[in-house]
Amino acid sequence: WSAGSTLEEIPDKYYIAPEHNVTQPRRANATILMLARNSDADSAVKSVRELEDKFNRKYKYPWVFLNEEPFSEEFKKRISNVASGEVHFGLVPHDHWFQPDWIDEEKATAARKKMEDDHIIYGGSLSYRNMCRFNSGFFYRNPILQNYRWYWRVEPDVHFHCEIDYDPFLYMEENDKVYGFTITMYEYLATIPTLWDTVQKFIKENPQYLAPENAVNYLSDDGGKSFNLCHFWSNFEIADMNFWRGEAYSKFFDYLDATGGFYYERWGDAPVHSIAVSLFARKNQIHFFDDIGYEHNPYTHCPRGAGKWEKGKCSCNPDRSFDYDGYSCMKQWDRIQ
């Protein structure tokens, strides 16, 4: 694969920053979303400050913050100080977060213990599992998010390296996209040993949900028999909640959830989202946001397409982009273009 050869170009009309426009820009029905704890205040504020500087001060999209505990006055005050648009602080309903009663606690405890002994990242953590299940199947059901169709997921302590001088939400909407990513990589097999088997069973029972021209060949090197562990790194997502709210994904999530795999293993929201979008959407509904320079420790995506790094005045090193790392799945992504 060769750098920059297969990228979709973003048409110039999206590059008109509203500050250069005399009229008020059209906005999408969108919000910028962050799940955070009160203890994340310092790093959450920094992420907001950066995305505001690089993008949102020109667009003023509303922010939504979610937490399974009430946000502290300090958190709310510090975030409101740096956000340019409206800010909503929401509580995650109990049943969207905590482990359901029907999970066999002995089995779940044993699984956590085993994964911790095996030194699997977050292997012993219950709260991490709650978070992954919430991000897989519940965030878009939060009452505050009912008002929105599009979201941009942001985490504490991430970095945006380039000026974003167009509206990615409108780009998604006008080009019939459902899911946008910046970084793609391999998942740890030990966290999802039975996930692919479960997906295959679901597809066998519900073949009608498979999209024509889907992206199965990004997920699999043998036409769908086995999972190659490639997924979109979900700490960055720009996506359409109508996709998660739709019949295919709703049934899919319920099917996965019923196996208990979020607790008996450690299924991440990244592989769950990625598998669904790669199977139930057309491959050209998935968008690689090459022009958004993005960093979540320890990896950075730096624009690689011709002229993009210059256009964005990016602070990242274009030669050190994760896209070129052996652990990146950019080669699988390029293969299906």
Binds ligand GDP by CB under 6 A, chosen from 50, 52, 155, 265: 155
Q: Does 269 bind ligand GDP (CB under 6 A)?
A: no
Per DSSP, helices labelled H in the chain are 41-51, 57-59, 73-82, 94-97, 105-117, 126-137, 168-174, 195-205, 216-219, 241-245, 247-258, 261-264, 269-280, 308-311, 330-335
Give me the least distance between CB of 268 and Mn ion, in Å please: 11
What is the rounded CA–CA span in Å between residue 43 and residue 264? Answer: 31
Q: Does 155 bind Mn ion (CB under 5 A)?
A: yes
Nearer to ligand GDP, 156 or 261 (CB): 156
**What residues form DSSP beta bridges with 34?**
65
Q: Which does 46 bind (CB under 5 to 8 A by kind): Mn ion, ligand GDP, none?
A: none
Q: Does 40 bind Mn ion (CB under 5 A)?
A: no
- Residue in 155, 163, 237, 265 annotated catalytic: 237
CB atoms within 10 A of CB 17: 16
Per DSSP, helices labelled H in 92-240 are 94-97, 105-117, 126-137, 168-174, 195-205, 216-219
294 SS3 class: strand
Looking at 31-39, 180-188, 236-244, 323-331, which segment touches ligand GDP (CB under 6 A)? Answer: 31-39
R_g of the chain, CA atoms, integer Å: 20
Q: Does 256 bind ligand GDP (CB under 6 A)?
A: no
Residue labelled with tokens 């999972």:
227
For this structure, is 237 an active site residue? yes
Give me the least distance between CB of 296 and Mn ion, in Å please: 6
Nearer to ligand GDP, 73 or 319 (CB): 73
Query: What residues line the site for Mn ion (CB under 5 A)?
Result: 155, 235
Catalytic residues: 237
Query: What residues line the site for ligand GDP (CB under 6 A)?
Result: 34-37, 40, 67-68, 127, 131, 155-156, 235
